[in-house]
Structure 1
Amino acid sequence: MNEAQQNTQDLAAKGALVTGSSRGIGAETARLLAARGAGVVVNYRQKAPRANKVVAGIEEAGGRAVAVGADITTEEGRQAMINAAVQSFGSLDVLVLNASGGMESDLGEDYALRLNRDAQVALLEQASEIMPSGSQVVFVTSHQAHFIDDVPTMDLYVPVAKSKRAGEVALRERIPMLEKRGIRFTVVSGDMIEGTITATLLNRAEPGAIEARRDAAGRLYSVEEFAAEVAAVVGQDLPTGHTEYVGGAEDFLTAARKNQSRIAGN
């Protein structure tokens, strides 16, 4: 996040919803948006104490926030978050689609697709009905998912990567609708992030995975560093559909271009 954003209240009188924000990247993004004046809905699925701690921290710093327990794969859960933003802060102007998953083993074989594609699209469509012109939607993804059609990833992560890519594609198909409503859409794609649950699980399944990716990228971002990049795109005058690549994207972009050239040549 640039210094100008850190020292201004450019999001004052705005309402924001950050999905999956009781911990990690989502929690830090919520804190950063609140520091810029936004009232923030902190969303959690099960861990109320964690979400309440995030809210307490924001309020202690002089910000505004409310915790909402909601499962974004349900219509009631999505509507509860939207209603909380409007009722608590007057409007929903910033929607950060941060929640993701799919490595859970007890939620059904189709859970990754339901969460990473269907729920994201459904929340976008429900929220866009009440978001005013000038609002912004930010979809948070990974290089491993964004480039999955061109660049292989770790076996354990393939279902998640494919479902997140499907989600991004489906969200981009809604851009004409968003443009008619004056709502901007931005994608933030990051490399593996140090300290996240996903990185930990992948490294546990494939020992050395984090170290190998760190060597290939030069370095990996921390949760705080990546969240700062997510928050930084909020309020920027970026073209709708812009993808902000954060850390280590060069090898992915090069591999993707080579693969596309190979396909075009066949």
Structure 2
Amino acid sequence: MSQTLEPGSLSGKTALVTGSSRGIGADTVRYLAEAGANVVINFRNKAPRAEKLATELRSLGVEALVVGADLTDPESVQAMIDEIARTFGSLDILVLNASGGMESGMAADYALQLNRDAQVNVLESALPILDEGARVVFVTSHQAHFIRTTPTMPEYEPVALSKRAGEDALRERISDLDARGIGFVVVSGDMIEGTITATLLERANPGAISSRRESAGRLYNVSEFAAEVARGAVEPIPADNTRLVGDISSFAQE
């Protein structure tokens, strides 16, 4: 991966990226660490992978805390926040990256639990340790962000609706965050090559990814999109609190 943020620009800062043992979350936390931030790597069930990433990032001269937490379990989330507070005292960047809903064997309302309720709970649990000047980033997809005006494939619709519900619930807190001096930005991207979601969609709907790639012209890969998420944590916040990544010509605006 190429350097995305200015080296040393986040020295002395602390960042938590949820779901950061792999994929977009792992690359995002790596970019933040490369810029000098101490980082919290959160995972649900990939401890060895999270520890391996932490070892890599510590070689950069930053601190890396590995914390397992099920984001749908408020007690687990609070324990994570308490550990961050004990280790670092406060947080400067909170990236709400972890999401899902296409996993098999989950409860019917699991997508809503994870993509709406858990996102709000993580933010509210973290508020006491978010410093003035901190930044909260919510990671989503165009298929979810534009779901009210542009239909998506049936296999993804429950996830898209739940992620949009999560975005809406977080946006309702923008004025409170502003009053605390905390910035909020949504980073939305098209389907991302190489993600678990893309793999599951392709399995459920063969040809879905290649069709979308042809329609969009190109799709971002994991490291490219993670770079945009990392930039969303530090660059000026757009007027509508939304950073749209890649082509959106296929999506009708609200």
Task: Tell me what 2:151 maps to.
Answer: 152
> In 2, distance between residues paired with 1:193 and 1:84?
32
Amino acid at match of 1:153: T
Per-residue CA deviation, residues 159-197 of structure 1 (Å, 9 max, x unaligned), is: 100000000000000111111111000000000000111
Structure 1 residues 177 and 240: CA distance shift in structure 2, 3 A: farther
Return the alpha-carbon distance in structure 2 between the equivalents of residues 92 and 210 of structure 1.
Answer: 36
The aligned residue for residue 191 of structure 2 is 192
Q: What CA distance in whole angstroms lies between the structure 2 residues aligned with 1:75 and 1:87? A: 18
Structure 1, residues 62-113: CA drift from partner, whole Å, max 9, x if none?
A: 2321110101111222122222332222311100000000111222001000
Secondary structure of the residue aligned to 1:186 is strand
Asked if 1 retains the 8 angstrom alpha-carbon contact of 2:89 and 2:129, the reply is: no
Which runs of 5 or more structure 1 residues have no equivalent in the other structure? 261-266
Which moved further from structure 2: 153-162 or 232-241? Answer: 232-241
Measured after TM superposition, the shift of residue 8 of structure 1 is 2.7
* Shift of residue 60, structure 1, vs aligned partner: 2.1
Paired residue for 1:94? 93
Shift of 1:40: 0.7
Alpha-carbon RMSD across the aligned residues, in angstroms, is 1.7
Q: Which amino acid in 2 is paired with 1:213?
A: R
Contact 1:184 1:240 in 2 (8 A): no
| Superposition map of 1:102-113 within 5 A | 102-113=101-112
**1:93 aligned counterpart, secondary structure:** strand
Q: Answer yes or no: is 1:138 the counterpart of 2:125.
A: no
Cα distance in 2 for residues equivalent to 1:106 and 1:205: 15
1:172 matched residue in structure 2 = 171
Checking the alignment, whether the CA contact within 8 Å between 1:15 and 1:90 is kept in structure 2 is: no
Q: So what's the TM-score if we normalise by structure 2? A: 0.95
Query: What letter is aligned with 1:61?
Result: L
Q: Work out the CA distance in 2 between the residues paired with 1:164 and 1:70.
A: 20
Distance 2:242 2:112 in 1: 22
Moved more, 28-37 or 85-94: 85-94
Letter of the aligned partner of 1:232 in structure 2? R
Moved more, 67-76 or 132-141: 67-76
- Cα distance change on mapping 1:32 and 1:16 into 2, 3 Å: same
* Partner Cα distance (2:90, 2:79) in 1: 14
Structure 2 equivalent of residue 53 of structure 1: 52
User: How far apart are the structure 2 equivalents of 1:211 and 1:188?
Assistant: 23
**Partners of 1:7 and 1:174 in 2: CA distance:** 30
Q: 1:137 to 1:24 in 2, by over 3 A?
A: same
Which one has the bigger helix percentage?
1
Deviations along 1:14-63, one digit per CA (max 9) or x if unpaired, are 11110000000000000110111111110000110011111111112323
Taking the TM superposition and a 5 Å limit, the aligned residue runs for 1:169-248 are 169-239=168-238, 241-248=240-247
Query: How high is the sequence identity, in percent, across the aligned residues?
Result: 61
SS of residue paired to 2:250: helix
Q: Which one has a bigger Cα radius of gyration?
A: 1
1:147-170 superposed Cα distances (whole Å, 9 cap, x missing partner): 011111111111100000000000
2: distance between equivalents of 1:21 and 1:196? 13
Matching residue of 1:264:
none
Give the secondary structure class of the aligned counterpart of 2:223: helix
Distance 1:50-1:2 versus aligned 2 partners, 3 A rule = closer
Query: Contact 2:140–2:188 at 8 Å: present in 1 too?
Result: yes
1:231-265 per-residue CA deviation (whole Å, 9 max, x = no partner) reads 0121222147511111121221xx23xxx5xxxxx
